Structure 1
Amino acid sequence: MSPAPEAFYVLDDTEAGASTVTSTSHTAGPWSPHAQHGGPPMALMAREAQRLGDGSRVVARLTCDLLGPVPVGRLRVEAVVARPGRSVELVECELADADSGRVAARAAAWLVPRVDSGPVAGLPTPPSGPATGGEGAVPPGWHPGYLDAIEWSWVEGSLEQVGPATVWMRPRVPLVTGEPMAPLERLMVCVDSASGASAALEITQWQFMNTELTAHLVREPAGEWIGLRARTTLGGGAAGLAQAEVFDEEGFVGRTAQALLVRPTPGA
């Protein structure tokens, strides 16, 4: 782990279609200093997918599957064009523990041509901006790695409240040392937090873990802030659904969905 966590990752090596990085303490999730929050590794796969292109395409849909805990350590991420095309293109990514070789996550991104003059219709009304929110408190016992690497502005709800929430998020550090954070990277660092922000159950009594996230985007985000209007839905079984409308300060950007595994907390 990097002794100087000025970013989520330190770039160790890069080549065509692959990068090796060392994770810093900023990637650690709220449950353990040794396992990453889902946002940074999803953003890392998005970065590698976009490195294959020339900037003429944008991501319309990105699906990420977490196959197991992502260690706070050395990672290797690879991307390949699985389905080339003149109009649409499918890029697939794989993220692995660089030391053991264990595959920890996969992603698939559909890309479409970059067009700046297309039609506009059906955009949801955005929430009030980040200046209207408050910082909010972190529940006792939660590990501060990722949580401290994000600036939070809560318009509705908080991590300590059960129910729907609206929150603006801004990463305090770049994804990779020495690189400005790309719009898609910034979005993916943030949106995996929708399930925690909109928790429908008391965390002391229930677990609601997501092993995947799908983002549908109508445009690239602009600016530093990402806004989530998030809600969790439960149907009485072991499956739940966390959904979020995603905004920047200019308006609507897209929607995300996360499948949740819902079960009682051991020992509760």
Structure 2
Amino acid sequence: MIACVTPPPPIPPGPFYLPRGEHTDASGTAVGEFEATPSTTGPWYADAQHMGPPSALLARALERLPGGAGARIARVTVEVLGMVPAGPVTVTAQVERPGRTIELLAATMRAGGRDVLRARAWRLAASDTAVAARETVAALPGPDAGTVRAERPHGWLPGFLDAVEWSWLDGVELGDLGPARAWVRMRVPLVEGEQPAPLQRLMVAADCANGIAAPLDVRDWLFVNTELTVHLHRAPAGEWIGVDAATVVGPDGLGTCAATLFDEAGHTGRIAQALTVRSR
């Protein structure tokens, strides 16, 4: 397939977040203050952030917690307690259950005077299992095989959608209905002055799954995830994250999105999202 490339939109005015100070308190809790930029604005509401950048910011806090050398995050669950408003956010993180080989990590995002997101992650000690490694999922065609689209679909708000690059293997753009496969790449840093870690990039892409596999027209319906759970069997690498997603909608306002995640080396993990579905 020959890639069809259109010029990307102008780079957004800044990264997703501006750092406003970080420290560790007397209890060992890591505390970070950040200012969200317009690049975080989600497609649903002009005064709320897309959940991808906040989820990645929580993953950043979890990754930075002290722990065993070479330990890997195997699962992250982000619980959405409410919309994340535009503006300042505070992130706290701590080791909830320490251990030599298995640790449970926790992080919280606070904004507008209340907790808006909570995350937990299992961090496991790494070991050499190369001789036992098994894979049952075929790799996706790479991002160069897709159709790169810069235009936002009608009805989707600017901000986050302009801060990421999309290469579509199925369909032609975000907003096409049904199961879909696409590659996602951040066009701006997560935090000003930092190179995003691969897990941070993956969290941004993972939260896009229900939009990639949009089940309904966003001009008529909302299908918002109330959580995001990511399982990883291999640490991701590189800038592009592939998402092979499908969404199902039930008869009484509930939906589920499930996706397989890839980097350019192959399959790296899976995600699921619980959705609340309602007409506008």
Scaled by the length of structure 1, the TM-score of the pair is 0.93
Structure 2 counterpart of 1:91: 105
**Which range is displaced more, 141-150 or 39-48?**
141-150
Question: Gapped runs of 5+ residues in structure 1?
Answer: none
Query: Which residue identity is paired with 2:175?
Result: E
Alignment of structure 1 residues 1-268 onto 2, 5 Å: 5-16=13-24, 17-54=30-67, 55-97=69-111, 100-118=112-130, 119-136=132-149, 137-157=151-171, 158-265=173-280
Question: 1-side partners of 2:250 and 2:127: how far apart?
Answer: 40
SS at match of 1:156: coil
**Which range is displaced more, 198-207 or 63-72?**
198-207
Question: 1-side partners of 2:86 and 2:200: how far apart?
Answer: 18
**Percentage of matched positions with identical amino acids:** 46
SS at match of 2:201: helix
Q: 1:109 Cα shift?
A: 0.4
Question: 2-side partners of 1:206 and 1:75: how far apart?
Answer: 28
Question: 1-side partners of 2:72 and 2:84: how far apart?
Answer: 26
Q: 1:117 Cα shift?
A: 4.1
**Which range is displaced more, 84-93 or 116-125?**
116-125
What value does the CA root-mean-square deviation take over the aligned residues?
A: 1.5
SS at match of 2:148: coil
Query: Which residue identity is paired with 1:181?
Result: P
Query: Which residue identity is paired with 2:127?
Result: V
Question: 2-side partners of 1:53 and 1:186: how far apart?
Answer: 21
Structure 1 residues 6 and 205, CA, compared in 2 at 3 Å: closer, same or farther? Answer: closer
SS at match of 1:200: coil
Question: 2-side partners of 1:116 and 1:72: how far apart?
Answer: 43
SS at match of 1:135: strand
Scaled by the length of structure 2, the TM-score of the pair is 0.89
Q: 1:116 Cα shift?
A: 4.9
Deviations 1:206-257 (A, max 9, x none): 2211110000001111111000000002232221110110000000010000
Aligned residues: 260
Runs of 4+ in structure 1 over 6 Å off: none
SS at match of 1:33: coil
Question: 2-side partners of 1:123 and 1:15: how far apart?
Answer: 43
